[in-house]
Homo-oligomer: A and B are copies of this chain.
Amino acid sequence: MTRNIQVSELDRRAVEDQQVEIVERKGIGHPDSICDGIAESVSRALSQLYLERVGKVLHYNTDETQLAAGRAAPKYGGGEVIEPIYILLVGRATKTYEHEGEVLELPVDSTALAAAREYLEENIPELEYGTDVVIDVRLGEGSGDLQDVFGEDEVQVPMANDTSYGVGHAPLTETETIVKEIENGLNGEYAAENPEVGPDVKVMGKREGDRIDVTVAVAMVDAYVDDLDAYKRAVAEVRAYAEELAHEYTDREVGVEVNTADDYEEGSVYLTVTGTSAEQGDDGSVGRGNRANGLITPNRPMSMEATSGKNPVNHIGKIYNLLSTATAEAVVEDVDGIRDLQMRLLSQIGRPIDEPHVADAQIVVDDDIDVADIEDDVTEIVDEKLANVTEITREAIEGEISTF
């Protein structure tokens, strides 16, 4: 078997070298990201349930979580949720499994609810389950098509049953890196020390030439903010942190603004009870926010695929979006001289998914390099990643890879 891997020069400038660049990341507490996160955690839980009970992953897709915003009354020192956020888990799953004449009932709904609850408790800790948020479930019976693909027997590569498309890129531009790192930092080390920073952090980066403007919106948690002065201090500290972090990744000029919609005169600030705007007025759903690589990058080709919640064993759109990004990253890590790599995977119906119709690595090289010089190295890495396509499945099931 020879895989159809094509390596060519990308017919545009590297995004890093374009005049205008826009990048966005919705943090884990953004209503759309909450839905992505729940959908993916439910997916993981179902995969694990199936592996545990029947030794292989059965048919499911849980990529349709819908969040309807609640109503809250935040106030300095601690307010309260008035009406709960409502989250509906939607999708398909296999609920019974027949084996040697016996019918096994699988606790699909309970497992999904438990996964969603645990996800929220871990990621949006200020949100009290059962009063601040109600989770309901409508998982229809799946089609029952089983996939003997990922389980106790030898792992087989599944067939593509759809024409689907995945796209990824590497390396991240400075602006992309900054947007991603600021969100990660605020929701990680910074929040650990500064509990007033809620998980609903949204970062928008705009670069024009050599100036990068970063706009950060942070849902402040009212219980940890005593008054307007404390709020202003919190905003200033976030700004300082973000600015410092940005400078670690660029020598360009950087401007950072935080919570620009605030109007102190009017007393209008971004204060929340739970650290997410879902508590008041912002609905959310799966697949509306970050792409599989964690960013929204309108300068680049993107897939519309909602990756989160899809079955990682046989859903080609999910696998190819995750794999194209992982492949691009692997190539860039090992091969020098690549300024921008765009990796595309297009499936071929009826063929194993490790044999795509085309695997297309388009590259902008550094000035002193020629694509032909690195073609073989690139091909080899792409080939190896395709050969190990089921590794993506394993990582998704074990939660080692993020989908949003």
Contacts and interface: CB of A to CB of B under 8 A. Distances in A.
Nearest to A64: B283
Contacts of A134: 113, 134-137
Contact of A69 (B92, B135, B137, B301): B92
Contacts of A66: 64, 66, 88, 90, 285
B261 A161 contact: yes
Contacts of A70: 140
A319 interface: no
A74 to B, nearest CB: 11
A106 to B, nearest CB: 7
Kindly report how many copies of this chain are found in the complex they form together: 4
A90 B143 CA distance: 26
A294 interface: no
Interface string A93-106: 00100000000011
Interface stretch (A10-18, A150-158, A221-229, A330-338): A10-18
Nearest to A83: B109
A80 interface: yes
Interface stretch (A125-133, A232-240, A381-389, A392-400): A125-133
* Contact count band on A: 35 or more
Q: Is chain A's binding surface mostly helix, strand, loop or mixed?
A: mixed
A69 B284 CA distance: 19
A107 B82 contact: yes
A301 B291 CA distance: 13
A39 to B, nearest CB: 11
A299 B111 CA distance: 39
Interface stretch (A175-183, A187-195, A243-251, A302-310): A302-310
Given A113-B134, A131-B113, A134-B135, A143 B303 contact: no
A167 interface: yes
B83 A260 contact: no
A312 interface: no
A306 B288 contact: yes
Given A92-B69, A285-B66, A301 B303 contact: no
A18 B83 CA distance: 52
Contacts of A275: none
A107 B88 contact: no
Nearest to A206: B163
Contact of A140 (B114, B136, B138, B281): B281
A163 B204 contact: yes
A329 B355 CA distance: 39
User: Top 5 nearest A-B pairs by Cβ distance?
Assistant: A66-B66, A12-B12, A64-B283, A114-B131, A83-B109
13 contacts: A22-B165, A22-B346, A61-B283, A64-B283, A64-B284, A82-B105, A82-B110, A83-B140, A110-B132, A113-B134, A130-B130, A161-B261, A163-B215
Interface of A: 11-13, 18, 20, 22, 61, 63-64, 66, 68-71, 73, 80-84, 86, 88, 90-92, 95, 105-111, 113-114, 117, 129-132, 134-138, 140-143, 161, 163, 165, 167, 204, 206, 215, 260-261, 281, 283-289, 291, 296, 298-304, 306, 344, 346, 349, 358, 360
